[in-house]
């Protein structure tokens, strides 16, 4: 994977740390370990031997010991093993999806927090300009360069800038809280948002539909339900129990050795198990339909996210290439023109406000480009590859 299609090293470290401390990932890991244990349990023999000891004192003294074992002649163990292995694949896919989900949520919250910080810095720049503008307006009123209403307009502009800055500070605090709610208080220093925009969508080749984690999970769930049908069918077949008994019988002075063999087979008369087979077959049909539905959803999401990301990225590129983002230059020029008396106070404030709003919109546009990039990586099945820096050819 090219360097431009890898996450920055600081961001990769942050995500790896997130995966270690996230309760959501820890829960998914515990579920995976439980699935491994269940898969191991399903591969064990179904029946244990039974030991029976019998003693009787009467006219005839009897001492016998018996050993019995139910025989799995219908393949129940093989069917249970197949179902356990399929359930393990479901849990493995769930673990992959949990890591991807928490990483995507954190990355989007992280980009929002970075945006809020940049907006707050830009708002602070506006507040500084308005404070200086208010001071200069007061001085110019004293010498008669501007009128009293223009002086009042400068004071009103300062008050508005202070309220807007308070709103930006509140927005940054909210964004930081959302980020902390996902990752906890484990990140004292957050990575900065890269100066460059993410690469074009064409730089990332989406995974094949069949290898998407959602499809892997759906296919594994279908395999589990199909195995469940086989388990239910095998359960209908009664397994015989073979018993071997040996001992001795004493009657008066005579002692005889006895050996007995018994074969017992349950009769599936009252409960044939047909209902369980029908239920398992219905669950398998639902799982098969779920695979088709998941495939359609994955393909639709990929097309949508690719189109959205391309649109936002192109718009952000155009914004950067134009003059719309040159806030500092325009602010300095407007202040120079106002001081020279070439524009009025109201014109200065209107144009400065428009310049600031445009700059803030540009930051919002770049944030949307980054968030749609994360959505596209998720839809393409490449988010964890991007975080891990794996080659697309080497990625599983």
Q: What is the spatial distance between Cα 128 and Cα 209, in angstroms, rounded to a whole number?
A: 53
User: Cβ atoms within 10 A of the Cβ of 173, count?
Assistant: 13
* pLDDT for the residue 1: 41
pLDDT digits (tens, 9 = 90+) for 337-395: 877 778 777 787 888 778 888 888 888 888 899 999 999 999 999 998 888 876 554 44
8 Å CB contact between 14 and 190: yes
* Domains identified in the chain and CATH numbers: 3-388 (1.20.1600.10)
* Nearest one of 121, 104, 200 to 363, comparing CA atoms: 121
8 Å CB contact between 355 and 182: no
Which residue ranges of the chain lie beneath pLDDT 50? Answer: 1-3, 393-396
* pLDDT for the residue 391: 52
Q: At what angle do helices 76-142 and 327-339 cross, to 10 degrees?
A: 10
8 Å CB contact between 268 and 236: yes
Strand order in the sheet with 254-264: 50-56, 61-70, 241-251, 254-264
* pLDDT for the residue 299: 93
Residues 6 or more apart in contact with residue 51 via CB below 8 angstroms: 65, 66, 67
* pLDDT for the residue 125: 85
342: left (phi over 0), alpha (psi -120 to 50) or beta: alpha
* pLDDT for the residue 396: 47
pLDDT digits (tens, 9 = 90+) for 305-350: 999 999 999 999 888 887 655 677 777 888 788 777 787 777 878 8
| C-alpha distances out from residue 91 to 42, 88, 227, 291, Å | 15, 5, 16, 16
Q: What is the spatial distance between Cα 184 and Cα 61, in angstroms, rounded to a whole number?
A: 74
Task: Give, rounded to a whole angstrom, the gap between the first and last alpha carbons of the chain.
Answer: 14
pTM of the model: 0.81
Q: Is 188 exposed, middle or buried (0-12, 13-18, 19+ CB in 10 A)?
A: exposed
The DSSP code sequence of 267-317 is -TTS--SHHHHHHHHHHHHHHHHHHHHHHHHHHHHHHHHHHHHHHHHHHHH
264: left (phi over 0), alpha (psi -120 to 50) or beta: beta
């Amino acid at each position: 994977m090219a360097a431009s299609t890898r996450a920055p090293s600081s961001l990769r470290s942050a995500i790896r740390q997130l995966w270690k401390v996230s309760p959501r990932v820890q829960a998914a890991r515990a579920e995976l370990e439980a699935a491994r244990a269940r898969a191991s349990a399903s591969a064990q023999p179904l029946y244990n031997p039974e030991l029976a000891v019998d003693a009787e004192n009467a006219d005839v003294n009897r001492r016998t010991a018996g050993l019995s074992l139910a025989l799995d002649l219908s393949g129940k163990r093989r069917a249970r093993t197949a179902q356990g292995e399929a359930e393990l694949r479901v849990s493995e896919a769930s673990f992959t999806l949990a890591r991807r989900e928490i990483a995507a949520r954190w990355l989007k919250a992280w980009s929002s927090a970075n945006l809020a910080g940049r907006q707050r810095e830009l708002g602070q720049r506006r507040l500084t300009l308005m404070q200086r503008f208010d001071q200069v307006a007061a001085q110019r009123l004293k010498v008669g360069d501007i009128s009293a209403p223009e002086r009042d307009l400068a004071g009103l502009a300062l008050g508005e800038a202070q309220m807007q800055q308070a709103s930006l500070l509140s927005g940054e605090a909210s964004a930081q809280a959302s980020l902390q709610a996902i990752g906890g208080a484990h990140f004292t220093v957050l990575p900065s948002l890269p100066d460059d925009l993410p690469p074009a969508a064409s730089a990332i080749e989406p995974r094949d539909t069949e290898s998407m984690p959602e499809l892997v999970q759906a296919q594994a769930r279908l395999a589990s339900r199909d195995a469940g049908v086989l388990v239910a069918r095998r359960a209908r077949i009664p397994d015989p129990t073979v018993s071997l008994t040996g001992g001795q019988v004493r009657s008066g002075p005579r002692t005889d050795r006895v050996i007995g063999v018994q074969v017992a087979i349950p009769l599936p008369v009252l409960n044939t198990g047909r209902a369980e087979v029908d239920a398992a077959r219905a669950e398998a049909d639902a799982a098969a339909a779920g695979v088709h539905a998941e495939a359609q959803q994955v393909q639709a999401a990929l097309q949508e996210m690719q189109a959205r990301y391309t649109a936002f990225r192109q718009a952000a590129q155009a914004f950067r290439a134009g003059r719309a983002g040159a806030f500092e230059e325009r602010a300095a020029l407007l202040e120079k023109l106002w001081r020279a008396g070439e524009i009025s106070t109201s014109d200065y404030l209107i144009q400065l406000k428009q310049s600031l709003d445009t700059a803030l919109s540009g930051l919002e546009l770049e944030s949307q480009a980054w968030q749609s990039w994360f959505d596209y990586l998720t839809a393409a099945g490449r988010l964890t590859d991007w975080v891990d820096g794996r080659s697309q050819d080497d990625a599983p």
